[in-house]
Structure 1
Amino acid sequence: MTSMSRARVARRIAAGAAYGGGGIGLVGAAAMGLLLAEVQLAKRQVGNGTAPHAPKAQGLYGLGYSVPGEPPLRLRMLGDSTAAGQGVRRAGQTPGALLASGLAAVAERPVDLRNVALPGACSDDLDRQVALVLADPAQVPDVCVIMIGANDVTHRMPPTRSVRHLSAAVRRLRTAGAEVVVGTCPDLGTIEPVQQPLRWLARRASRQLAAAQTIGAVEQGGRTVSLGDLLGPEFAANPRELFGPDNYHPSAEGYATAAMAVLPTVCAALGLWPADEERPDVSRREGFLPVARAAAEAASEAGTEVTAAMPTGPRGPWALLKRRRRRRVPESEPAPVTPSPQAGPSGV
């Protein structure tokens, strides 16, 4: 599918989400029977649900930057098991911990991390997660990172419904005063045990949803980073190193690579990234595009950021597409805390 075709599909899905539609499917009905059969086979091979629970990574990072009277930055993680960090053994290997330690180093301030992500969650769980994050009006987050979408595809949630829930979550968080960065739906076609034709169908569905998520999130004032295959070109060279033992969730190296892609956008949202890197760089194919076109381009290339640029244009709202340089994120453990227990179904 070309980027123009993907842009049209993404715009239709986003429009359906905005106006209450729900009948736009990601794959044709004729392919659904074969898809379901392949899904069952893939689930048996993947061993989905056998990975250990995500480590508890909540707490303070960057305590060495503490200054009396200056509160820490508040970072909140929402979404599914990718946001939770399922598949690794140490707290410091989870994406939340990696982002918190990286943000602390860039800001030179401590970062308070809280993770309300739920393994197995679909986008309709975001309403509950946002309520948890905003429960204390005196503790509004500085920035929230949402990683969601894979379960929406595997559970066949209508994409318009999926995007509607995500858009509502971004809107609530932005209205409360938090910056929002969305890691869009990963490319399920990269999972090794998945065979054709499911691999092609999963990739197509994942990218269509990712593009529609981008439109929905950007139009509500958020920024997005395309997770794509989570790892960009590194995955093709090292699939066994970048997936965890269950061949489904990322490994520690996989999460580190994803965190490197998301961290610059988190910092930019807080005004912490170098100003000279905020201008589009034509050598990296950055620039201003209609939001649907930018969303389609981003869905095709992992690590691409999309943020709102102009509210109107000759072809609707415009966005800035950026391919930021990745930077290594240090691994560190949180200061001791007593985190609230997490419970829920295992899954993506």
Structure 2
Amino acid sequence: MRRLALRFARLYFHLLAHRPPRDWTVPVADGRYRPAEPAPDERPLTLLLLGDSLARSLGALRPEQTLGARLAQGLADRTRRPVDLRVRARVGATTGAVGRQLPRSARLVPGIAVVIVGGNDVLLPTPLGRAGRRFAHLARTLREAGWQLVVVPCPNPGYGPGFRPHARWIGHHRSRRLARLQTRTADRVGAHLAPTSGPEFRDRAAQLLGPDGIHPSPYGYATHAARMLPTLLAAATHLPTPAPEPAPH
């Protein structure tokens, strides 16, 4: 069923984009990221990425170029704590599909959860109110489980020159509405808001976007990570202070 859904999503994407990606694989970046100057007796914190192709980093060529790896290493260096990165995001995911990413994260020690989703919702003929409600449920679930939640409001497909004109027009208007719904939810549940992509991705597409003119290039993911990192550092200050490792007997 999942393979069928992914095949349908790729076929649908051909209707929306001028140059759909030829390669949909993404390098795996999961693992432990260590600070350049570690502090003594610091327990690792967990960084969880949920969402769609942007959270998964479609367009990155190597693990260290992904958004998750850049955020994890930046977080490790600035907090001087090891960071365990887990990327559960999937290419083509809608808000409803992100809810199915949660069970695989249930056993993780809560830390910082980053959610980037909505771009696929706004390009599908589905009600945005339903996507907003599903996002609210997802946000509440993460917060009640003890995660510090970082929300990146729905990116605007209208800034992606690789989309066909009708997709850019529809995506521009619908993404703004969904981003407002997500922002209201973030305020209600006490989540942290990180910057989303802006018109600079249209104006500097040759640098910030990959060959499809939609997904970020490795440099684009580096730009995203630099803009998001201050929000993650603010979220980290709300995490419980890790207890020191017990001394060996």
TM-score category (smaller protein): 0.7 to 0.9
* AA in 1 matched with 2:67: P
Measured in 2, the distance between the counterparts of 1:183 and 1:269 equals 13
| Residue in structure 2 matching 1:73, options 39, 45, 56 | 45
| Residue in structure 1 matching 2:163, options 194, 201, 221 | 194
| Runs of 4+ off more than 6 Å | none
Q: CA deviation at 1:253?
A: 1.0
| Residue in structure 2 matching 1:133, options 101, 105, 111 | 105
Q: CA deviation at 1:166?
A: 1.3
Measured in 1, the distance between the counterparts of 2:91 and 2:63 equals 15
| Residue in structure 2 matching 1:182, options 148, 151, 154 | 151
Name the residue aligned to 2:82: 110
Where does 1:212-227 land on structure 2 (aligned, <5 Å)?
A: 212-227=181-196
Measured in 1, the distance between the counterparts of 2:178 and 2:115 equals 15
Name the residue aligned to 2:221: 255
Which sections of structure 1, spanning at least 5 residues, go unmatched? Answer: 1-38, 273-348
Q: CA deviation at 1:64?
A: 4.2
Q: CA deviation at 1:141?
A: 2.2
Name the residue aligned to 2:245: none
| Residue in structure 2 matching 1:166, options 117, 135, 152 | 135
Measured in 2, the distance between the counterparts of 1:215 and 1:267 equals 22
Q: Give the superposed CA RMSD.
A: 2.1
The answer to whether the aligner puts 1:143 opposite 2:117 as a matched pair is no
| 3-state DSSP of counterpart to 2:100 | helix
Answer whether contact 2:160 2:201 (CA < 8 A) is retained: no
* AA in 1 matched with 2:236: L
How does the TM-score come out when normalised to structure 2? 0.83
Identity %: 39
Q: CA deviation at 1:40?
A: 6.1
Name the residue aligned to 2:72: 100
- Can you list the C-alpha shifts for 1:130-164, whole angstroms capped at 9, x where unaligned? 22112x2xx32210001100011112231111111
* AA in 1 matched with 2:97: D
* AA in 2 matched with 1:250: P
- Can you list the C-alpha shifts for 1:203-255, whole angstroms capped at 9, x where unaligned? 1111111111111222122122241xx2x353344212211122221101111
The answer to whether the aligner puts 1:245 opposite 2:202 as a matched pair is no
The answer to whether the aligner puts 1:120 opposite 2:86 as a matched pair is no
Length, aligned pairs only: 227
Measured in 1, the distance between the counterparts of 2:202 and 2:36 equals 38
Measured in 2, the distance between the counterparts of 1:224 and 1:77 equals 15
For the pair shown, which has the larger CA radius of gyration, 1 or 2?
A: 1
Answer whether contact 2:35 2:80 (CA < 8 A) is retained: no
Measured in 1, the distance between the counterparts of 2:209 and 2:34 equals 28
Name the residue aligned to 1:276: none
Name the residue aligned to 2:23: 51
Measured in 1, the distance between the counterparts of 2:19 and 2:193 equals 28
Measured in 1, the distance between the counterparts of 2:152 and 2:173 equals 17
Measured in 2, the distance between the counterparts of 1:153 and 1:176 equals 28
Where does 1:313-324 land on structure 2 (aligned, <5 Å)?
A: none
Q: CA deviation at 1:198?
A: 4.0
How does the TM-score come out when normalised to structure 1? 0.61
Measured in 1, the distance between the counterparts of 2:230 and 2:36 equals 22
Q: CA deviation at 1:195?
A: 4.4
